[in-house]
Amino acid sequence: MFYSADAQTWNRVTKPNFTVPNTDTFGNGRFVFAANGDSVLVSTDGTAWTKNTVATNSFIFSVAFAGGKFVAVGRNSSFTATAYNSPDGTTWTPANAIPGGSAGVGL
């Protein structure tokens, strides 16, 4: 992934090497990757990453940014679809998942 402040000069995002990210998004000045398991990885510069737990007993498949919020979807240990939202990619709040949904495979 690359990013640019002026659409002229492009910088490569250094993906974290301690996990294999599933999906990624950018918003509110932050890169957010869905990491394997219950966490996301957050960076403001695309090189230094912080791991943040979204919810225990949850597996996060996808992240997106829209309407000023990050959204993470996945499934819990019972394979029930789960969803969470966050203003900053760090603090996550449970949200309503689609009842009987497909366990959050994608956004």
Task: Look up tokens 């918003």; give the residue.
Answer: 27
Average pLDDT (66-93) is: 90
Q: What is the pLDDT of residue 106?
A: 52
State yes or no: pLDDT of 74 exceeds 80.
yes
Where does the pLDDT of residue 17 fall: very low under 50, low under 70, confident under 90, or very high at 90 and above?
Answer: low
| Secondary structure (3-state) at 33 | strand
- What global pTM score does this model have? 0.77
To the nearest whole number, what is the mean pLDDT of the chain? 82
Average pLDDT (82-105) is: 79
Sheet containing 81-86, strands listed edge to edge, beginning at the edge strand earlier in sequence: 58-66, 69-76, 81-86, 93-95
Average pLDDT (73-99) is: 87
